Every structure is written in structure tokens, then in C-alpha cells.
């Protein structure tokens, strides 16, 4: 197979770690100077932190720079952290703002090209080839998922089927009519897709590649989807603050970690409390610096995502960029019940290991008189009991939440991200 079929940008995707580090150092120095020169908010933030930009030497001085967070975006809403004139902006996307003021990400033409390149690398890495029909199921709008996959699919030379979200029967008909080989979606929607396929009594034999983002994805859920659809599944990574889906990277066909495009982003894994950088292999919060974004390059942005660096060695796929573990949870979604700390992803992993359990579930957090309890609702086939669920959860979590098994189709369906945690205050 020709090299051009394996990579989108072979020279950069297979660059040595020495070449990558040298590139990162130069880009870090340039980007810090660029942000301070072009954004008064960041200039003031750095001045208050005692940062002398002219003395910044790159990677060795990263810990001297302040860490920023979503709060900085919200404080400067809508474009207070932007580094280019408004008439240079060609597109914008933003977060839902479900937990506060939304995060806005503006794009110049250069930023859109950077996004398309990162996403195209991911698509090529999955095994997608020029001409392959790709069905894009995330919504097209302020959420970046649909447009990110669209920009990348065009750059990678794919045949784009921009269905957007919802209308599942039509999704299935179009996939059959156009022999869709690749599709992108939020993984919780794929459960709905499978349900409707079974109701229609059809299969999609042309499907070979599923690319999932925007939600924390467990290995067990990926395996369940892969087995049911007979496809290879990939966990794509990116967020509004880094420029959207695929900007950070994805796992390759070796599935040995998420490759992060280090020529575009510099990563640190820090202790969530002390903010000290952790050694490779230790789980902590991911902090990201944009090296090539133009309109709004984040520098030391705390993502809230928990992961660890798995390897800096060349992968079996030939790519040399650092690999990180799948996101295990977020610093702000940890649950505490009866003195036990755990993440929703741990509940999902345990549930998906039970034969007969389907992909739809909810974690009901109940508070009464200041005391929290947890109730797990899960859809499953006949024969799966609440006792089975409670037993598996106790083995995995260390305590026994209440488990209730519901018939298939009982829980509400949504076209976008599933609502997995529901909080209730009891009288």
C-alpha cells in the first residue's frame, strides 16, 4: 500500500521525537510572544503572574506560565481572548453553555485549514481512503462536531454525506443507498442507530469504520458497538477550546492509545490539585497549549480531562507522536457515594461487561437530608436482573448501588450527547 494511503502528512506524522521537540520549542516561544502582543487580557494576566515574555525559553519554562481554564473564556465572553481583528474571523463555534456562559472559538482561514489537516490525519489513520463515502451524523451548527468532520473529510478526499443528527431511519436508508463505509457520531447515538436497524430488520454491510467523539467512551462500550456492527471503532479527541473535534488526535488501528498531534499541540499531565507536572504513566489532568492556532491559541489550558501519557515511542502504525490513554473521566464529574469516589465511565464499563445489557443507562443521584445515594437504571434483555447489575457494580466500585433493569426502549433517546447522570433532591 502506498505511503500516501497510510498517512495524510507522512513527513510530520512520522517525524522523530527530537524533531517534534525542536519544533515545539520554537512554536512555543513564538506563540507566547504572539498572544501577549495581540491580546490585552492575556498581556495583563501574564504581567500579574510576573512572566517576562522576552525571557521565555520554551518547554523548560512552561511551569512559569499561568494555567487558564473555562472561567477565563467566560470572563472574556464572547471574544475577549481573541488575537485577531474581528474582520479576520471566518467561522465560529461554541460549547453548549449548559454549565454557564458558553465558550466561543473563532476561526481564521488558517485555523480552518489547521482543523481540516488534523481531522484529515485522523480519518486517514482510521483506514478511510479518498473516495470513501463518509456519513457525518453529529449536528451541523454551533456545536463543532458536524463541521469538524466535514472540513476533515473534504481535505482527506472523502465522499461526504452530511446528514447531521437525528432522523435515524433516513440515516440507515442513506447508508444503504450510498454504501457508507465511514461514519462519525457520538457513541450514545449509535445505540439508537442499532435499535432502529433491528426494528427495520436491516444490516449495513458496507460500514467498516466508526469514529466517535464528544463523550467519554469506555473500552467495553467500544467493543460492544464494534462487535454488533462488525466495524473498527475509533475514539477521536478534541474540544471547543483546542479548535474542535479531531484537533488533538485519535487512536490508530493498533488501538494502543490516542495519538496527539504534537506539531500542533503541547501536552502536560498535571496533578489536579497542585498543578505540578506528573511523570509519564501517572494519571492526572490534561493541560493543552495550541502551537499553530491563529485567532485564539490557548496556552496551558486545563481541560478537566483525566488521562496519562502511555508512550513517546514510535507506534506500530509508524506514527511518532505521543500516545495518551483514553479519557477516564473529568475532574468535575467525579461522584462520591458512601465514601467511595468514582466516575460515570466506571459505571458504564461495568454495565457493558454484563451479557444482555444494552447501551442505554442512567445514573440517578438522589440527595435527601444532605445524604447522597445512587440508583442505576439500565436497559437489558430478559434474564438480566437487578441483582446481576448490583453484584457487578459492587465488584467494580466497592459498594452496592441500587440496580433496576428496564425493558429495551424505556429510557429517553436523544440525537446528541446522552444524559447519563440525573440529579434529584428528595423531600
Alpha helices in 272-359 (DSSP H): 344-352
pTM beyond 0.95, yes or no: no
Domains of the chain in start order, with CATH, are: 1-328 (3.40.50.12780), 335-425 (3.30.300.30)
Query: How many angstroms separate the CA atoms of 376 and 387, rounded?
Result: 12
Look up residue 272 and give its three cell numbers: 489536579
Confidence at residue 17, expressed as pLDDT on a 0 to 100 scale = 96
**295 phi-psi bin (left φ>0, alpha ψ -120 to 50, beta other):** alpha
Cβ neighbours of 169 (radius 10 Å) = 12
Confidence at residue 372, expressed as pLDDT on a 0 to 100 scale = 74
3-class secondary structure, 249: strand
Q: Block means of pLDDT (10 residues each) for the chain, length 427 residues? A: 72 97 97 98 96 94 96 95 98 78 95 98 97 96 93 97 93 97 91 92 97 83 91 96 97 96 98 95 97 98 96 96 91 71 78 86 77 82 86 79 85 76 77
Query: How many angstroms separate the CA atoms of 227 and 101, rounded?
Result: 40
Number of H helices, E strands in the chain: 12, 21
| Contact in structure between 412 and 406 (CB atoms under 8 Å) | no
Look up residue 87 and give its three cell numbers: 474582520
Confidence at residue 371, expressed as pLDDT on a 0 to 100 scale = 66
Amino acid at each position: 500500500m502506498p505511503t500516501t494511503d497510510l498517512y495524510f502528512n507522512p513527513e510530520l506524522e512520522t517525524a522523530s521525537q527530537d524533531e517534534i521537540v525542536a519544533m515545539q520549542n520554537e512554536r512555543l516561544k513564538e506563540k507566547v510572544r504572539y498572544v501577549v502582543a495581540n491580546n490585552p487580557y492575556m498581556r495583563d494576566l501574564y504581567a500579574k503572574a510576573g512572566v517576562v515574555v522576552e525571557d521565555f525559553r520554551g518547554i523548560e519554562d512552561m511551569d512559569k506560565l499561568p494555567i487558564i481554564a473555562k472561567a477565563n473564556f467566560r470572563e472574556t465572553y464572547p471574544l475577549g481572548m481573541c488575537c485577531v481583528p474581528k474582520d479576520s474571523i471566518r467561522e465560529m463555534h461554541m460549547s453548549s453553555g449548559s454549565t454557564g456562559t458558553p465558550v466561543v472559538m473563532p476561526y481564521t482561514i488558517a485555523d480552518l485549514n489547521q482543523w481540516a489537516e488534523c481531522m484529515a490525519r485522523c480519518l486517514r489513520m482510521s483506514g478511510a481512503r479518498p473516495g470513501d463515502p463518509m456519513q457525518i451524523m453529529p449536528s451541523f451548527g454551533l456545536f463543532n462536531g458536524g463541521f469538524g468532520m466535514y472540513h476533515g473529510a473534504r481535505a482527506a478526499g472523502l465522499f461526504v454525506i452530511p446528514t447531521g443528527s437525528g432522523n435515524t431511519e433516513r440515516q440507515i436508508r442513506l447508508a444503504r443507498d450510498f454504501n457508507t463505509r465511514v461514519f462519525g457520531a457520538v457513541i450514545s447515538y449509535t445505540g439508537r442507530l442499532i435499535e432502529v436497524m433491528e426494528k427495520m430488520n436491516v444490516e449495513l454491510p458496507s460500514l467498516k469504520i466508526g469514529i466517535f467523539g464528544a463523550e467519554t467512551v469506555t473500552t467495553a462500550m467500544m467493543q460492544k458497538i464494534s462487535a454488533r456492527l462488525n466495524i473498527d471503532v475509533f475514539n477521536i479527541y478534541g474540544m471547543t477550546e483546542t479548535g474542535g473535534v479531531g484537533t488533538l488526535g485519535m487512536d490508530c488501528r493498533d488501538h494502543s492509545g490516542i495519538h496527539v498531534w504534537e506539531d500542533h499541540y503541547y501536552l502536560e499531565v498535571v496533578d489536579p490539585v497542585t498543578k505540578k507536572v506528573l511523570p509519564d504513566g501517572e494519571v492526572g489532568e490534561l493541560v493543552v497549549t495550541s502551537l499553530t492556532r491563529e485567532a485564539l491559541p490557548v496556552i496551558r489550558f486545563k481541560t478537566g480531562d483525566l488521562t496519562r501519557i502511555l508512550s513517546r515511542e514510535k507506534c506500530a502504525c509508524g506514527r511518532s507522536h505521543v500516545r495518551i490513554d483514553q479519557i477516564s473521566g473529568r475532574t468535575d464529574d467525579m461522584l462520591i457515594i458512601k465514601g467511595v469516589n468514582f466516575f460515570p465511565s466506571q459505571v458504564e464499563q461495568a454495565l457493558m461487561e454484563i451479557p444482555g445489557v444494552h447501551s442505554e443507562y442512567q445514573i440517578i443521584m438522589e440527595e435527601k437530608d444532605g445524604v447522597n445515594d445512587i440508583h442505576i437504571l439500565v436497559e437489558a434483555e430478559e434474564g438480566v436482573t437487578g441483582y446481576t447489575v448490583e453484584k457487578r457494580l459492587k465488584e467494580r466500585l466497592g459498594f452496592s448501588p441500587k440496580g433496576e433493569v428496564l425493558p429495551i426502549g424505556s429510557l429517553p433517546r436523544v440525537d446528541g450527547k446522552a444524559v447519563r447522570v440525573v440529579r434529584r433532591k428528595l423531600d
